[in-house]
Chains A and B, each alone.
Chain A
Amino acid sequence: MLESFQLIISLLDSTIRIATPLIFCAMAGIFSERSGIIDIGLEGKMLLSAFVAATATFLTGSPILGLFAAIFASCSASLIHGFACITNKGDQVISGLAINILASGLTITLGIALFSRGGQTPPLTSEQRFMPIEFSFLDQMSIVPFLGDLFVEVIAGHNILVYLSVLAVFFTYYVIFKTRFGLRLRAVGEKPEAVDTAGISVIKMRYQSILIAGMLCGLAGAYLSIAHGAGFGREMSAGKGYIALAAMIFGKWNPIPSLFACLLFGFLEALGVRLEGVELMWIGEVPVQVMQALPYVLTVVLLAGFIGKARAPGAIGVPYSKEG
């Protein structure tokens, strides 16, 4: 009993660690797509900002500066996306794809040119990272059975960005559903003509949305390389941007359901790692690849309308022209 409880605790702990970048990116995706801009480029923005965060931190010694550099890099990528598909009315999927491939090539090439370590950045010391926050009063909580463990192991002991990701969900929810800006943002994604008629610039609204998305992706990238990890490695984002995209769709473009989708996908990955080589009763060994494929399979099934119906924003993917 106690052992399985410990197992669940540690599973939940790694779920949160895995889900954090997904949460940031899913929220970024919501901002972008709710305003009508498809964001395939989450992956590339995260990869780019992970590289920039590690590089800037290594050069300056300050993770705070690294974080800002990451946000700056990610927002620059967002602006390229915006320039291509808002200003020049280019195809949003193609533009996102270009950003992903550019980020792959750019991070490896720059990494090799700067550090000559085959694309990696030099390892960062613990002073150069966002380390787990220690709450001294929490140690006393562990006296409380079960609940104390849950608190100390799962909720406490993460770095600041993990907590920030939870805040990001509430921030996204609040901005999109409770502010005038959010109302306009949703309107731009559904019926841009209506917003235009009301005298609000569609172009400006969409640029603002993708810049917020850029900031959130920057946080995700920084988490990978200067908080969770201690330096940048080639292709570090490893498809997480796409999983976040899937989680956003799974959450039907809503912040709170998307948060749970991220946690679910994070849990599946954590479980997959834990189950490797373990014989389960009746089932036998579950291949780790099944767990890896499950988020994608679930998203496909959801999109096909077999479990509920995911409806994308009405004007998604359509560049806005005043002439119509």
Chain B
Amino acid sequence: MSDSNIIPKWLSVGVIPLINLFLAFCVSGLFIFFIGENPFRAISVMIKGAFYYPGAIGYTLYYTTNFIFTGLAVALAFHARLFNIGGEGQAYVGGLGVGLVCLIFDQHFVGFLVTILAILGSVVFGAIWGIIPGYLQAKRGSHIVITTIMFNFIAAALMVYLLVNVIIEPGQMSPETRDFASGVGLAQIHILAKYVGLDMAMSPLNLSFIAALTVSVGFWFLVWRTKFGYEVRSLGHSETAAVYAGIKVSSTIIIVMAISGGLAGLVAINELLGVHNKLLLGFTAGYGFTGIAVALMGRNHPFGIFLASLLFGALYQGGTELDFEFSSITREMVLLIQGLIILFSGALAYMLNPLVERAYLKYYGNYSNA
């Protein structure tokens, strides 16, 4: 993938992605129109659902948190030109890390310590699920796209097995563990707000959001301000050049996949430590796949990823509102919009470049030649 070198950066980074997004929304709108609903009403319902009702913003930011983690996971791999489709599986296995730590230690240690260990558990387990495909790519030449897809399915089978047969709470039917002990977990923001006298509507938004923002800053520092980040980006630009520059390609690939998996694993702290307070089946709910759309839209930069995560958070939260307001469109509409965004912002990202180049040269070309 390459950007045009004719048009300036503000056009290629700022304007073209917005046009692509606009196109995706236009097609979605046409679709809603064809099934006989008013697209503008749908948009207003979604915006109200995402921002207006009490607690809506909290819900939106809670989804945003997940997308920041998975978006960063995909983006880091992209910087090394690796396509990590395995965010879903890495987040799922990260949940296993959280679950195991809590189930083993929560009766013995104080909640604060267990929470810290559980966060580490999510990172380590997610990282392991990233390291294996990374190793297979680096040392055995297996294509990372295929291995990470396979690892998503293997993770799903593993988690079903463990939750149904091994770590299920004895004596109950649904496949989930017992609740973690009461001191364990990340506090929800509306409860914290009460301590400082603020009255916020209830929502699942918790400290993971702060963690996600912190991690985003760390991501920026790692990629653009460290030697390792430089090596990762060199590898992404040209593997041959990286080899000549003395960069150890295979160990860089493995470390990138470890960090990427660890980032995806952090979804588990938001979901399990922040909200559910236990390990349960299917808690990743497609967040790993949405991370791909987020990274593409955010152009692999943490700030862009934050904006894209916010957009998807609003879409997810606003989408649930569709169920209540319409009879013929539901929250699955969001899946359609997501697919269109991946198509226009990802696969067709450079479709408009020639057009914009021509337009740009027409208006600014003479000026710069003079």
Chain A positions near chain B (C-beta within 8 angstroms): 38, 40, 80, 83-85, 88-91, 93-95, 97-106, 108-110, 112-113, 116, 119, 239, 242, 245-246, 249, 287, 289-290, 292-293, 296-297, 299-300, 303-305, 312
Contact = CB atoms under 8 A, between A and B. Distances in A.
16 contacts: A38-B145, A40-B149, A85-B347, A89-B350, A93-B85, A94-B292, A101-B339, A104-B335, A105-B336, A242-B153, A289-B157, A289-B161, A290-B161, A293-B153, A303-B147, A304-B136
B136 A300 contact: yes
Contact of B333 (A109, A116, A289, A304): A109
B182 interface: no
A304 B141 CA distance: 7
B153 A300 contact: no
Contact of B150 (A101, A119, A299): A299
B342 A94 contact: yes
B69 interface: no
B127 to A, nearest CB: 18
Q: 5 tightest A-B contacts by CB?
A: A105-B336, A105-B335, A102-B339, A95-B347, A101-B339
Contact of B347 (A84, A116, A249, A312): A84
Given A105-B334, A299-B150, A305-B141, A91 B339 contact: no
A97 B83 CA distance: 12
A287 B346 CA distance: 39
A113 B339 contact: no
A116 B328 contact: yes
A37 B36 CA distance: 37
B356 to A, nearest CB: 14
B340 interface: yes
Contacts of B292: 94, 97
B44 interface: no
Given A289-B158, A293-B158, A303 B142 contact: yes
A109 B347 contact: no
Given A101-B339, A289-B158, A109 B289 contact: no
Contacts of B173: none
Given A101-B289, A300-B136, A95 B343 contact: yes
Contact of A303 (B35, B143, B327): B143
Contacts of B336: 102, 105-106, 109
Contact of B339 (A84, A85, A93, A105): A105
B350 A98 contact: no
A29 B161 CA distance: 30
A167 B57 CA distance: 56
Given A91-B1, A93-B83, A290-B161, A101 B335 contact: yes
B147 A95 contact: no
Contacts of B362: none
Interface in B301-331: 327-330
Contact of B160 (A85, A289, A304): A289
B263 interface: no
A98 B153 contact: no
Contacts of A305: 140-142
B107 interface: no
A110 B35 contact: yes
Nearest to A234: B332
A112 B142 contact: no
Contact of B337 (A105, A113, A245, A249): A105
A165 B204 CA distance: 49
A245 B165 CA distance: 30
